[in-house]
Structure 1
Amino acid sequence: MENKKIIQVEDKVPMKLMIPLSLQHMFAMFGASVLVPIIFNINPSVVLLMNGIGTLLFILITKGKAPAYLGSSFAFIAPAGLVISKWGYQYALGGFVVVGIAFCIIALIIYKFGVDWIDVVLPAAAMGPVVALIGLELASSAANTAGLLDDQINMKNVIVFLVTLAFAVLGNVLFRKFFAVIPILIAIVAGYATALFTGLITVETVAEALKADLFVIPNFQLPRYSLEAIIMIFPVILVVVSEHIGHQIVTSKIVERDLLKDPGLHRSMFADGLSTALSGLVGAVPTTTYGENIGVMAMTKVYSVRVIGGAALLSIIASVVGPISALIQTIPNPVIGGISFLLYGMIGASGIRVLVDGRVDYGRNRNLILTSVVFVTGLSGIVLKIGQVELKGMVLACIVGMALSILLFIFDKLKITNDLEA
């Protein structure tokens, strides 16, 4: 096998590669995906199950042409938390179902009217910084997960973080042949071993995890519906739609295919919405395409949907096999932080690639203004509240960029701008 050979979306992968590559993807998403149910105070097993099922549905609906892993969405945390505090988790589930259905309806509208409007509302000068912000605004999250932003820094956290990051970075440029495509998995193993060596986790903790019940039944719950609860959660649709479009665009750049047209934005969005609705129906949390897994693809150049499907199957297995789930949960935060630190940066770099590939001419004032306004909006910390939903960071920047782009498009049609192209 050649070093860094690209494994394309439809490529078959031999089993000796399939298992470690799939494990790599599962470990990349695991920390963030189980954090959401922990915040909602529910058992993560049902979430891991629906993440896996949702990912397999996504692959099926997109005809195996769009590599993406569906993990737990963070966009719903604030409004769902308020609903849970007032009425309980089952009423939050009702809101998840309604948002998922609305997501599917938007997908059908896009199917009817196409995606050409995206070039108008988000030209490359605006889309580039929007994509970059997906990774940049998560940078502090990676550092926080690693424990590097704590008031008192634990040197054990720092050591484990640095070892994990070092293996991920150096492995990406130094490893050869088989090891060249699994630097993330190797980094996780190295970080875990370092955590054991430094005493950040103990052998007793590992032994206790292995004593978990062999099989566990996910804690299913049925949703309940309240108009007030639904109204509190529904504005999240603005966040998830913007996030989904951004993720599909950055994935398109990584795999060098226009996934918005083939298999189509309507298919990927419908699959995402269906997964969210189904998750709400059985007691799990909403899903979204995961930036961590996009970063893994960017780093390893392995885009095969079979690998993503393998990670989904592993997630389903982990949801019902107690020792596996318990053992994975012993992975310390500095390991997850070290991996995320690099993966989020990869997404940010993909945004710069959008600008380069789009050959954005910054001699035109409009392009300079679009990029500047989007970046400043996303990084300024400005928050716009709609009910209980906060629009900030990449989402707010995306909305501002779209509004400004539409305004410039109207000015062009009226022929009143001073930089019209021939």
Structure 2
Amino acid sequence: MANSKELVQLSEWSPAFTEELLPVSKQVSLLFHISYLCLAKFPNLERLLRKRAVETQMLFGSSEALLLKCVGTSQNLVSSLFPMMILAVEKNKPTLAIKFLEKARTWIHDIIKDVEKMVTSYTEHNENVATTTSDIITEKSNTEQKSAQLSQEHQEMEKTIKELDKKLAELGENLEKTQMLINAKNQELQSHIKDVTSKSSGLGILAAIVPFIGAIIKSIYDAATAPGAAEKTKALQSQLDQLNSEKSRLEQQQWSIQVQKMDFHMKIAKLEIDMGSIPNPHHLKEVQCYLTKIQQILIQLKNLWGNVQSLLETMKQKTFVGQDLVEEPDFKEEFVNSIQCASKIWSDFGGSCTKGAQIFKIQSKDAYAFLEIDPSSLSDIVWQKEYDSVMAQLQEIKVFEGGPAAIKE
């Protein structure tokens, strides 16, 4: 087999991506809910917002189907491709392995195309939400009571929001600095892992079919690597975990302040509604941000599958084309062990995709039940109760914790 270093292309993608997907998808539905309440007395805008919310439901339903397809492809790798690769090595039948590698590349090609379409759908939907936000702002401007003076209470809340914006700006700067440190430490860890896997045939094979950096780290702990390799890996990972922990702390603090801002914006909106003015669609603008985050997760998913597709092609060329596998019995044993380990990792990835699909399923149905109620029919007491419930759910959200390499022994 060619130098395994040529096969190593690690990804920072984590199979535990659902930890990030869950809060983001909740943020979208809850912010839609608040926006819906804000437009209770403006039926034309309410209908327009309802349309966007329904589009989001449908998009989440399609996202569920996409992740279930990822589950199916992961299962095909585990139940079909990997056993055939083992058989090809044990029976010295490289043409059999090549056949199934090509079939797997076809599966993955289809997945990539589907993800690309979904990413495009999110782009188009986000543009529609942006247009709706703009329409609301225009309508607000056309109907604004020019002579109305801001109340003292209104002015005080605007002042508080500006103070919160300053805190958010400071947190943003700290997050940016922390992310730069994380990126640098990730590069250092990547370089170290590539060096370790290049010196171990078994780890090199595993890295060629499992592009998850966390899984390779765990394998380094379990394998008999060069002296000091596991210790250095642990040290680098510990440093990275600390940075990711600091990032999570800052992000949670950031989210807490954002929720405070939402509350003040909503109080201002209530004052504007009482004056007969259309409230500013601040919450709808936030919806766009979180839809973009979901889109970014899908882009990472597309890049992951693209990476796997390239790795399988490299595996085919370096391992099964023009080589007599019978002459390398030690390689066969390492290969089989690595494939068996890879099967477990890909099974876990499929499980994560299943959880992700379930999140989209719940969000596409239960989370939009508020659309069944006409907000203009709510009494002030019921309206306030509905709003308090949404705010309580927003406050309970925990942002994504930890980093992609945070896989322990």
Same fold (TM over 0.5): no
Select the structure of larger CA radius of gyration. Answer: 2
Higher RCO structure (Cα 8 Å, ≥6 apart): 2
TM-score (norm 2): 0.29
